[in-house]
Chain A
């Protein structure tokens, strides 16, 4: 399991109710169910991946976060997880609001467009950045609204969303982001993980 999921799992206490939005093949869900006794649900847009989840015995709803989150009642989950998908929605703000409505807290991870490799790629090569975390070309990427760790922090602050914890990931290294090191973390991390609440 990738480091990102381990970090997410560490943010969640045992026996909680969790919704994994864009749960893909259910790797994180299965880990949370087996290791933390989490009452876990998933929402996934790909039929193929929904089938993989069912084969793992996971409860998953085929659907689209932009349309299908609205059926869940307010604060019906302790945590709602959104891993590296926020930038792929037509309206990320709407999805973020929905995550914070449905979940008491939300865990959102974003691929950091401020990462130095991304910046260098554009600066030196002059073409759209392709990295390990952002493997697609400009013409086939699902990402519509790329942002940096700094963008995300500024955005949630402007919307009065509380940040409980901000973590920066660079390969296997995890570190805390604070106001003093935001610029540095924004340069040296390829992923940001945020525990937020509204």
Chain B
């Protein structure tokens, strides 16, 4: 795969002190942009991707040759209208689409980092991405948005840089990763590290990869992105290319076949160590704790306009967790709107064609932009 020629990178020269205590410098951030920055530089939207996303939001992803992960929402005339807005998205550090991560070489010894890459946090991730604003000479973003882990970055970004965004749209996320979410992430990590090809993270030197473990991690996670009703309606107990049960352990049911397929395509595009690092960053995310138990303090210095969106069938980041952010904002009199979108598509709703969601997003952005 000739990755390099498709990937734009910013080399961050400035040292970045990480939460774990280590400092990184001269590290790459891979990014992509859509639309164009206007002369006033007031039309930029920074999008943050979720766990397995990357900088290729919309159009054809040149690496996977599939549609970008947020193609329903971002593009010309879409909710995030690239005719109007300049959209920036970067691969998180710890990731595997060009930004500094465990598959990079350690400059100290020229070996691939593997698990010697420093453990990173959501705070580190947004601090690294902040360099993009300086790179583009943007003083204030028109908006920041993202779903799931992207939403957590939105919350962290506005608390770190309260004056740097006019509007803030966290979607289907939380201010503090729950025990259930940590448990589900741990399941994925255990699947990876239990694969004998993982070799304590040093698999690249053997030219192997823990693809079976990573596939299981993806399969388990994929279930959490859907709703019971959605799964039942799409698959039910339908059999996979067979008339009857085979009394064996092949994929008898369509849902089994579907999950196996999701696992198998995932391992082609994602690095197992990155999966460990990024899920860890999510688990460590606790904005309430960062502000000594008072989430409102995370937002007390910002005048930004917030719009929080959750989905009825999302049991991974349920409405109640999103509402806690609304409550924290209301208790300090912040400008905050909130809507729970009706959808059977589970946590994945924010990535899919859910018209109520896309309309709300578009209306909020476009109406807020008029006041610019």
Q: Is B161 an interface position by the 8 A CB rule?
A: no
**Contact of B363 with A55 in the complex, beta carbons under 8 Å:** yes
Which chain B residues numbered 319 to 372 have a C-beta less than 8 Å away from chain A? 326-327, 330-333, 335-342, 356, 359-360, 363-364, 367-368, 370-371
Complex formed: what's the CA distance from A57 to B167 in Å?
13
Partner of B363, one of A54, A59, A62, A63: A54
Partner of B338, one of A56, A61, A72, A76: A61
Also in contact, A47 and B339, with CB within 8 A (given A54-B363, A72-B331) = yes
Q: Which A residues lie within 8 Å of B332 (CB)?
A: 73
User: How many Å from the CB of A20 to the closest CB on chain B?
Assistant: 13
Q: Is B305 an interface position by the 8 A CB rule?
A: yes
**Contact of B340 with A62 in the complex, beta carbons under 8 Å:** yes
CB-CB nearest in chain B for A60: B337
Complex formed: what's the CA distance from A56 to B330 in Å?
21
Partner of B368, one of A55, A57, A61, A73: A57
**Contact of A62 with B339 in the complex, beta carbons under 8 Å:** yes
Also in contact, A71 and B330, with CB within 8 A (given A51-B339, A62-B339) = yes
Complex formed: what's the CA distance from A71 to B325 in Å?
11
User: How many Å from the CB of B366 to the closest CB on chain A?
Assistant: 8
**Contact of B360 with A54 in the complex, beta carbons under 8 Å:** yes
Q: Is A191 an interface position by the 8 A CB rule?
A: no
**Contact of A59 with B337 in the complex, beta carbons under 8 Å:** yes
Complex formed: what's the CA distance from A5 to B254 in Å?
56
CB-CB nearest in chain A for B366: A57
Q: Which A residues lie within 8 Å of B341 (CB)?
A: 47
Partner of A72, one of B330, B342, B368, B371: B330
Complex formed: what's the CA distance from A180 to B305 in Å?
48
CB-CB nearest in chain A for B338: A61
**Contact of B333 with A51 in the complex, beta carbons under 8 Å:** no
Complex formed: what's the CA distance from A60 to B363 in Å?
13
Q: Which B residues lie within 8 Å of A72 (CB)?
A: 330-331
Q: Which A residues lie within 8 Å of B337 (CB)?
A: 54, 58-61
Partner of B330, one of A55, A57, A61: A61
Q: Which A residues lie within 8 Å of B330 (CB)?
A: 61, 71-72
Q: Is A110 an interface position by the 8 A CB rule?
A: no
CB-CB nearest in chain A for B327: A71
**Contact of B338 with A57 in the complex, beta carbons under 8 Å:** no
The winner among A47, A54, A55, A72 for most chain B CB atoms within 10 A is A54
**Contact of B339 with A59 in the complex, beta carbons under 8 Å:** no
Q: Which A residues lie within 8 Å of B367 (CB)?
A: 54-57
Complex formed: what's the CA distance from A56 to B337 in Å?
13
CB-CB nearest in chain B for A50: B339
Also in contact, A51 and B356, with CB within 8 A (given A57-B368, A59-B305, A61-B338) = yes
Q: Which A residues lie within 8 Å of B331 (CB)?
A: 71-73
**Contact of A51 with B360 in the complex, beta carbons under 8 Å:** yes
Q: Which A residues lie within 8 Å of B305 (CB)?
A: 59
Partner of B364, one of A54, A62, A63: A54
User: How many Å from the CB of A98 to the closest CB on chain B?
Assistant: 13
**Contact of A61 with B359 in the complex, beta carbons under 8 Å:** no
Q: Which B residues lie within 8 Å of A76 (CB)?
A: 333
Q: Which B residues lie within 8 Å of A51 (CB)?
A: 339, 356, 359-360, 363
CB-CB nearest in chain B for A59: B337
**Contact of A57 with B370 in the complex, beta carbons under 8 Å:** yes
**Contact of B356 with A59 in the complex, beta carbons under 8 Å:** no
Also in contact, A54 and B370, with CB within 8 A (given A61-B326, A72-B330, A72-B331) = no
Complex formed: what's the CA distance from A59 to B332 in Å?
15
User: How many Å from the CB of A4 to the closest CB on chain B?
Assistant: 25
The winner among B333, B335, B340, B359 for most chain A CB atoms within 10 A is B333
Complex formed: what's the CA distance from A30 to B24 in Å?
50
Q: Which B residues lie within 8 Å of A71 (CB)?
A: 326-327, 330-331
Instruction: Name 6 A/B residue pairs within 8 A (Cβ), A-sorted.
Output: A51-B339, A51-B356, A54-B363, A55-B363, A57-B370, A58-B337
9 interchain residue pairs of minimum CB distance: A57-B367, A71-B327, A61-B338, A55-B363, A71-B330, A59-B337, A54-B363, A62-B339, A50-B339
Known A-B contacts: A54-B360, A71-B326. Give 18 more (CB < 8 A). Answer: A47-B339, A51-B360, A54-B337, A54-B363, A54-B364, A55-B367, A56-B367, A57-B363, A59-B305, A59-B337, A61-B337, A62-B338, A62-B340, A71-B327, A71-B330, A71-B331, A73-B332, A73-B333
